[in-house]
Structure 1
Amino acid sequence: MATSSKSSSSTGQGSHNTSITDARRGNHNHSAAGTAIFIGLRPLSPIAQYQNLYRGWGPWLLSKIGASTISPMLSTPGASLSRHLLLAMSTGVTAKHIYWVLALNHEYFNPPIASLVGIGHLIFDTVASLLFLSPKTSALLTGPYISIPGTGSALSVPITLGTAMFTIGLLMETVAEAQRKQFKSNPENTGKIYTKGLWALARHVNYGGYTLWSAGYMLAAGGWAAGLFVMALLTLDFYYRPIPGLDRYMTEKYGEQ
Structure 2
Amino acid sequence: MANKLHDNVSRVKKFNVLGTATFIGLRAADVAFQYTLLNDGWASKLVQTLGGRSVELAQLNSAGRGLQPYYTIIAMMALGSSLKQIITMLVVSEQDTPVSSAIVISLFNTVFNSLNSLFSVWDVTSRSPPTAGSILGSPSIIAGLGFYLVGISVELLSELQRTAFKKDPANKGKPYAGGLFSLATHINYGAYTIWRAFYAFTSGGSLWGFAVGLFFFYDFAHRGVPVLDEYLSQRYGSQWATIKARVPYKLIPGIY
Q: Which has the higher contact order (CA 8 A, sep 6+)?
A: 1
- Whether the aligned pair in 2 keeps the contact of 1:140 and 1:155 (CA below 8 Å) is no
Q: C-alpha distance in 2, partners of 1:137/1:71?
A: 13
Provide the residue aligned with 1:19 in structure 2: 6
Q: Distance in 2 between matches of 1:208 and 1:153?
A: 28
SS at match of 2:8: helix
- The corresponding residue for 1:42 is 27
Q: Distance in 1 between matches of 2:60 and 2:28?
A: 30
Give 2:92's aligned amino acid. Answer: L
Give the residue type in structure 1 aligned to 2:220. Answer: F
Does residue 175 of the first structure (1) align with residue 163 of the second (2)?
no
**What secondary structure, in the 3-state scheme, does the structure 1 residue paired with 2:96 have?**
coil
Which residue of 209, 232, 247 corresponds with 1:250?
Answer: 232
Compute the displacement of 1:21 (Å): 3.2
Unaligned runs of 5+ in 2: 62-66, 240-256
Q: Which runs of 5+ in 1 are unaligned?
A: 1-16
Secondary structure of the residue aligned to 2:15 is coil
CA gap of 1:182–1:137, structure 2 versus 1, over 3 A, is: same
Pick aligned residue for 1:191 from 173, 176, 188? 173
- Which whole-Å CA distance do the structure 2 matches of 1:196 and 1:20 have between them? 24
SS of the residue aligned with 2:136? strand
Match in the other structure for 1:84: 72
Q: What CA deviation, in whole Å up to 9, does each residue of 1:50-91 have, x standing for no partner?
A: 111111111111122121101144399xx8211111111111
Are the aligned partners of 2:54 and 2:123 in contact in 1 as well (CA < 8 Å)? yes
Q: Deviations over 1:113-152 (max 9, x none)?
A: 110111111111110011010011112269xx9xx9xx77
**2:243 alignment counterpart:** none
RMSD: 2.3
Quick one: which amino acid aligns to residue 103 of structure 2?
A: S
State the shift of 1:155 in Å.
Answer: 4.7
Q: Which residue of 2 aligns with 1:224?
A: 206
User: How many percent identity over aligned positions?
Assistant: 30
Q: How does 1:27-106 map to 2 (within 5 A)?
A: 27-74=12-59, 80-106=68-94
SS of residue matched to 1:139:
coil
- CA distance, structure 2, for counterparts of residue 89 and residue 182 of structure 1: 27
What is the TM-score normalised by the length of structure 2?
Answer: 0.84
Q: Is the 8 A contact 2:161 2:179 kept in 1?
A: yes
TM-score, normalized by length of structure 1? 0.84
Structure 1 CA distance for aligned equivalents of residues 5 and 23 of structure 2 = 21
Question: Is 1:129 matched up with 2:117?
Answer: yes
Encode CA deviations 1:215-246: one digit per residue, 9 max, x unaligned.
Answer: 01001000111111111111111111111111
Superposition misfits of 4+ residues, deviation over 6 angstroms: none
Q: 1:73 to 1:127 in 2, by over 3 A?
A: farther
